Amino acid sequence: MPMKKFLVTFSPDLVSEPITYKLVKDYDLVVNILRAEIDENGGRLMLSVEGSGPQIQKAVKYMEDVGVQVKELKEFIKKDEQRCTNCGLCVSVCPVSAYRVDRTTWKVVFQNEKCVACGLCIDACPPGAIKLRAQV
């Protein structure tokens, strides 16, 4: 089944709407909330959504129809291979193991599909080789 990640942004009047529930119930999707920020200005969620392509498209249309801004996220973190010293600090701080050390080359490998854009690797990187592409 296809899996996509989305950044959804909504206004304060939609905070009490059961949007993620409807994605599961009405569109038969598997939804994982990777990050959430909700305050008096509304909210932003980073969602991982798994299901059939047509159902994901219908769910996106539903969210847009109710006033939710939906942006598909394909890449969150950009690792500058030229600046990276392969020190491994990002490997040790990543809570979802999006970084690993290749045991044959001893280089740090970034696995975008695991990333939840928490930003811990950015703060940990001594040479500043890691940047956040999508502000969440």
How far is Cα 63 from Cα 74, in angstroms, rounded to an integer? 19
Instruction: Give per-residue burial for 24-41: e unless 16+ CB within 10 Å, then b.
Output: eeebebebeebeeeeeee
pLDDT digits (tens, 9 = 90+) for 57-81: 999 999 999 999 999 887 778 899 9
User: Region 108-128: what's the mean pLDDT?
Assistant: 89
How far is Cα 90 from Cα 37, in angstroms, rounded to an integer? 24
What number does CATH give the domain 77-132? 3.30.70.20
The values of phi and psi at residue 70, to 5°, are -125, 125
Mean pLDDT computed over every residue of the chain: 90
Confidence of residue 136 (pLDDT cuts 50, 70, 90): very low
Domain regions of the chain by residue span: 3-73, 77-132
Q: Which CATH superfamily is domain 3-73 in?
A: ACT domain (3.30.70.260)
Predicted TM-score (pTM) above 0.75: no
